[in-house]
Structures are given as structure tokens and as C-alpha cells.
Amino acid sequence: DGGITQSPKYLFRKEGQNVTLSCEQNLNHDAMYWYRQDPGQGLRLIYYSQIVNDFQKGDIAEGYSVSREKKESFPLTVTSAQKNPTAFYLCASSSDYEQYFGPGTRLTVT
Amino acid sequence: DQQVKQNSPSLSVQEGRISILNCDYTNSMFDYFLWYKKYPAEGPTFLISISSIKDKNEDGRFTVFLNKSAKHLSLHIVPSQPGDSAVYFCAASPTTDSWGKLQFGAGTQVVVTP
């Protein structure tokens, strides 16, 4: 079954800790994206990558970091520098303009 | 600056009737538009798209209309069903952007009542 997996579905962390969200795809897509969704807001782009070992900042990259060592994987690290990390995080991949989304990770930082 | 706007945060419609969702954009470089449907605690799923060379695209119960001069698109769902209750996002991209980045609207919550 082709698709995008994100784990875990729910994640809880204490303030000041870094946390890494996993995203894996087996769709053989070159491009991968990270978004966050907050209540009443659309999806905002954090980082994106079109090819292995290359990635670009999106609209709200501050406090986040990513890596793209393999085509299938695009992990997102939420660092302690991110001021409001509690949110729903979505990973997507695409081969053209239609993006396919994973099920999301709800991160709660207290 | 929000380049894609969905000005109606919510819409309630009776089962069997038509749902009309609206979306406006400001960037004249946008020439490819998509609608996504999202259930709570899940990722969005692609519904339908339209290129700026068309003014209408239909797929089953879903039809998207594009008015380029007004920078406006709409999604029609006919007939509405209870399973259509979800948040609908409008998204847009310039096809000159080889990265395929999408700009999303804030979403419209649709509730289909019996």
C-alpha cells in the first residue's frame, strides 16, 4: 500500500526539549513538505525539499530544522527555540502539484 | 499576507441540497488550484483541481468553477451527504514554481444536517 506515514500520532513534550517528528513515504515522490495547522488557520509551510540533501525554508521555518538524507524520509525537529510549538503537524509529498498528506502528528508542549 | 482567502469559516447545509464553497486569491501568478477535504485529526485528502486554462472541472458530485478575472473559485457539492461534513481547504500555486509549493486558505467547515 503506497502512502505517507507519520509517527507518532500524539506526542507530548516538556518545554525546552527538542522533539523529532517522523515522516516516511513510499510513493517514490521527489518533493516533500512540512506544514503546521493551528485552530482557525490554514496550513502553513514550514520546510520543503525537492531532492535528497536539499531543502528550503517555508513561511514559518524559525525554530524548526529538517534533514533529507533519503528520498523516503523527511524528519522535522521542533527545537526549544520554537515559541509556540503546540500544533498539528502535517507531512506531504508530491510528484507534481497534487500533494498527498500523511495522517498528522498532534504535538503538545507543556 | 494571506494570498488565498476563504471568507466563510463555516457552512451548514441540508442533506441532498447544494453546498457552495468560495475561495478568493490575490496573486495573479496562481494558475493551478486545488480543493482538499479534511476530517479532524487526519491529513487532508485531495478532492479536485483546476488549471487556469479551464473555467470548470467536474468529478462526480464535485464541480469547481474558476473565474480568473475575478480571481475567484468555488466548489459545488451536489447533492450534499452527511459524509461531506468536514473542513474544505482551497489551495493555489503558480505552475512556474517548480517546487510545487501550495498556498492554502484558512478552510471552511461544512456541516451537512439530516
> Which residues, in sequence order, are CB contacts of A73 under 8 Å at separation 6+?
A22, A23, A24, A25
Mean local confidence (pLDDT), A7-16: 92
Contact B43 A98 (CB under 8 A): no
Task: Look at residue A39 and tell me whether its pLDDT is greater than 90.
Answer: no
Of B16 and B100, the structure prediction assigns the larger pLDDT to B16
Of B98 and B36, the structure prediction assigns the larger pLDDT to B36
Of B15 and A40, the structure prediction assigns the larger pLDDT to B15
- The model's pLDDT over B96-112, given as tens digits with 9 standing for 90+, comes to 766 678 999 999 999 99
Closest CA to A16 of A87, A85, A89: A85
Query: Which of B99, B103, B109 should one mutate to test binding to chain A, selecting the residue with the greatest count of A CBs within 10 A?
Result: B99
Average pLDDT, chain B: 94
Give pLDDT, residue B78: 98
Task: Look at residue B47 and tell me whether its pLDDT is greater than 90.
Answer: yes
| CB nearest A42 (choices: B49, B89, B95) | B89
Mean local confidence (pLDDT), B25-39: 94
Closest CA to A103 of B108, B87, B45, B48: B45
Task: Look at residue A59 and tell me whether its pLDDT is greater than 70.
Answer: yes
Give pLDDT, residue B99: 65
Contact B101 A48 (CB under 8 A): yes
A105 and B CB contact within 8 Å: no
B69 and A CB contact within 8 Å: no
Burial of B37 (0-12, 13-18, 19+ CB in 10 A): buried
Give pLDDT, residue A19: 94
B93 and A CB contact within 8 Å: yes
Average pLDDT, chain A: 93
Contact B43 A58 (CB under 8 A): no
Task: Look at residue A98 and tell me whether its pLDDT is greater than 90.
Answer: no
Give pLDDT, residue B66: 98
- Compute the distance between CA of residue B83 and CA of residue B108 in angstroms, rounded to an integer: 15
Q: By mean pLDDT, which of B1-5, B49-53, B99-103 is the weakest?
A: B99-103
Give pLDDT, residue A97: 78
B41 and A CB contact within 8 Å: yes
Give pLDDT, residue A67: 97
Give pLDDT, residue A10: 94
